[in-house]
Homo-oligomer: A and B are copies of this chain.
Amino acid sequence: MADELDGILTVDFEPLGRRARVARGTTLLEAARQAGVGLNAVCGGTGTCETCRVRVVAGQVIPPFPPSPPSPPSPPSEYEGFWLACQTRVLSDVRVDVPPASVTALQRAQIEGRERRVELDPAVRWFDVASEPPSLSDLRADVTRLRDALPLPSGEGQEEVRFDHGVQCQLPALLRGQAWRARLVVQDGEVIAAMPVSTPPLGLAVDIGTTKLAAYLVDLASGETLAAAGAMNPQITYGEDVMARIAYAMGGEPRARELQRVLVGELDDLTHKLCAQAGRDVAEIVEAVLVGNTCMHHLVLGLPVEQLGLAPYVPVLADPYDLKARELGLRLAPGANVHLLPNIAGFVGADHVAMVLATGIHEACEVTVGLDIGTNTEISLAVGGPALSPSAPLGVNSAEGPALSRVEGRLLSCSCASGPAFEGAHIRDGMRAAPGAVEWVRLADGQVEYQTIDGAPPVGLCGSGVLDGVAELLKAGVVRANGAMKQGSHPRVRGAGSETEFLLVPTGERGAPHDLAITRKDVNEIQLAKGAIRAGIEVLLEEAGLKAEQIERVVVAGAFGTYLDVGSALAVGMFPPLPRERFVQVGNAAGIGAKMALVSRHCRRVAEEIARRVEYVELTTHPRFVEAYTAALMLPEPGEVIS
């Protein structure tokens, strides 16, 4: 069949937004590879591992033979209508739905970040106890027996200790199977887990992004990270940004429950994956810390999100919060709690608190801007931490700023809707940061140089690639300050008017399956995104009574923030014109902050203090925002940028 080449067909992969142009008879697995969609194919495409399942939504294909592969051990309904991509060949243009479970290495890991040393002081403690078995002269209940044996420090009343219901259910079998010895894990006066005495308790930290999840398995005795893993947020099928998810959830309680269910299901899978990596059991995880923006925080808890979508955008819950993992449907140790860091406002959530905690900008002596760039970008401006001694000079390198005493110790935050352009969405040839994505672009002497992730054939542009491209076109005089492209400015410019585009990669170059271009509309998308971020920074500065040049440090966090080229960001005006050495890229700081809160009660107190201290600035109704945004939409003239 593969020889029947009678035309080029398109294969669209949803919800990833990727397209392949392939010959009739090509397998869906091959098409996926061309499109840069990393389908699982453990067996190498022989149809035996059954990991590359996809669902054909529209178009004609030759189905696998036999049409239904042997059922997997998981419930069959989960895979109803799904076929193995490696055994299915296209006969027409087709649209294919790719379940998250079938995707591997979807994106570059955003699970690493700069670790800060914290003193181990987890919220759970554990005690090994041994007791006599019951006898006719000692008829104490199992719970009473263990409580009496619990070697709590003096001053903590044993009689006050409660046993979680799930632990009580396990106790009789555990005690009788372990010769009346057990390790009891205690949190806030409650025994939340009971295990054999040799078991080191584990903790789980998760950063729940709108697009991506990053999870860490931590040994609570050593603080060591035993395993880390990332995954797509499966809610993405219900809307790519926070507002779309809120709109979906407003369609009724079953929809909101569905959003929670798919997310918790993925967290459950991730947890199992982490434990498999580390050779441990999920029942040994005795606490989890979750961070996310306020919407993700509410959705994972099953809290209503309607009011997050309506002015004045207030959350249901802002305080730090503990609840049983089982109440979310998350299977850890029987009585394990989930801790959620506090939210600041409707659009500045616990993930930003975690990022501030991890980067320490709240206690910085310099004037510091912290950004977590994503579909929503949260920005904090710290002006002298509370630890600042009055005599210590702030060292601002400009004499033009106002008297510093007026703004000492302030921490201002805002949130701006930067949109998903930096995630590769709304960009014509955009894609997520997966193998084959153009991630770096330079124009040198009119020649286009570029680099793809993993050196794979170029199939699309990820966020950093688009940003680089726009910056280079601007520097080369191809793009004007208003985003328009100059006809005839470069041989690669083609089309006219709003259809003008710059050809970055012609079909066939390094195996590119189709042309890759940056369009006039793509440039506009980048303008909207960077303009929102820049306007946010400007409004915060104004609120603090500072000028941009007084910023001494810019901390850039988040997946895109890790990989972006600061020079390109400066070139397009995403950040104020500042020397490059003032910028630091810190990786997934929210995830690091979650890990810090997992192993340290002190860090939880600091997080609460951060949330309490923050002065939230609502941009949507801020009198200066529209003006700042309009100004920030323009691209700078090349000469304006310091780099």
Give A residues with C-beta under 8 Å from B: 134-136, 139-144, 163, 165, 168-169, 171-173, 176, 301-304, 306-307, 311-319, 323, 327, 343, 345-346, 616, 618, 621
Contact = CB atoms under 8 A, between A and B. Distances in A.
A295 to B, nearest CB: 13
B307 A172 contact: yes
Q: In the A-B complex, list the 3 residue pairs whose CB atoms are closest, starting with the nearest.
A: A141-B318, A141-B315, A134-B314
Given A302-B169, A303-B168, A303-B169, A142 B323 contact: no
A317 B141 CA distance: 5
A317 B172 contact: no
A176 B312 CA distance: 13
Contacts of A317: 141-143, 163, 168
Nearest to A305: B172
A191 to B, nearest CB: 12
A169 B139 contact: no
A172 to B, nearest CB: 5
Given A136-B618, A165-B327, A312-B134, A306 B172 contact: yes
A484 to B, nearest CB: 37
A608 to B, nearest CB: 11
Nearest to A253: B169
Contacts of A140: 314, 318
Contacts of A314: 134, 139-142
A290 to B, nearest CB: 14
7 contacts: A134-B312, A136-B621, A142-B316, A143-B318, A144-B319, A169-B303, A169-B304
Contacts of A345: 139
B304 A143 contact: no
Number of copies of chain A assembled together: 2
Contacts of A163: 317
A285 to B, nearest CB: 20
B618 A172 contact: no
B135 A312 contact: yes
Contacts of A304: 169, 172-173
A171 B346 CA distance: 16
Given A165-B323, A169-B302, A316 B139 contact: no
Contacts of A144: 318-319
Contacts of A171: 316
A171 B618 CA distance: 24
Nearest to A314: B134
Contacts of A616: 139
A614 B444 CA distance: 91
Contacts of A313: 139
A305 to B, nearest CB: 9
Given A169-B303, A304-B169, A323-B165, A618 B139 contact: yes
B141 A343 contact: yes
A502 to B, nearest CB: 43
